[in-house]
């Protein structure tokens, strides 16, 4: 029969894991809310008079949003790597940045998903491969100069 103190330790560990997971999800939610607010042109906590005394929302106070307001995984990767500036990066660096920002990467193979997204962004011309990897050596990427300039010129970023 297992010792009662072992059972307590196991339960504590499980609770800590759940708390950690919840914290990561809360951070991811905060980041997504900020991204959505920036994209839609408003901050949820500051409606700026867009809600009337009757509780009606004045939609003219909100900038038109894109047809697709769904944030895709590639959009998240684009946002994360745009924070790297002119530094070279790899899949591992991108995964590290996701974790630091508290964004959970869906699926069982996060590095594979990141790698596929980086491949699409490279084909799009958003990033360029600076060093072709092979075997245990990963590909290294860098934002294209135009992407960095666009990021710096964009208002409010």
106-111 LR contacts (CB < 8 Å, sep 24+): 106/73
pTM strictly above 0.85: no
pLDDT by residue (tens digit) across 15-55? 988 888 888 888 888 778 777 766 665 544 444 555 555 55
**Percentages of the chain per state (helix, strand, coil), in multiples of 5:** 55, 10, 35
pLDDT by residue (tens digit) across 65-121? 555 567 789 999 999 999 998 899 999 999 999 999 888 888 899 999 999 999 999
Does the CA dihedral 96-102-103-105 come out positive or negative? positive
Buried-exposed string 3-42: b where 16+ CB fall within 10 A, e elsewhere: eeeeeeeeeeeeeeeeeeeeebeebbeebeeeeeeeeeeb
Q: What is the pLDDT of residue 143?
A: 92
Name the nearest CA neighbour of 65 among 34, 42, 32, 47. Answer: 42
């Amino acid at each position: 029969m297992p010792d009662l103190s072992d059972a307590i330790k196991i339960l504590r560990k499980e609770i800590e894991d759940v708390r950690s997971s919840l914290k990561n999800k809360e951070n991811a939610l905060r980041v997504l809310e900020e991204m959505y607010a920036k994209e839609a042109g408003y901050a949820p906590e500051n409606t700026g008079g867009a809600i009337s005394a009757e509780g009606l929302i004045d939609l003219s106070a909100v900038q038109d949003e894109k047809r697709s307001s769904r944030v895709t995984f590639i959009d998240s990767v684009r946002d994360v790597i745009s924070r790297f500036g002119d530094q070279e990066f790899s899949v591992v660096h991108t995964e590290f940045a996701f974790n630091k920002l508290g964004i959970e990467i869906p699926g069982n193979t996060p590095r594979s998903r990141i790698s596929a997204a980086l491949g699409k962004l490279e084909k799009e011309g958003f990033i360029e491969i600076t060093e072709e990897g092979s075997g245990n050596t990963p590909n290294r990427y860098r934002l294209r100069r135009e992407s960095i300039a666009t990021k710096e010129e964009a208002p409010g970023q």
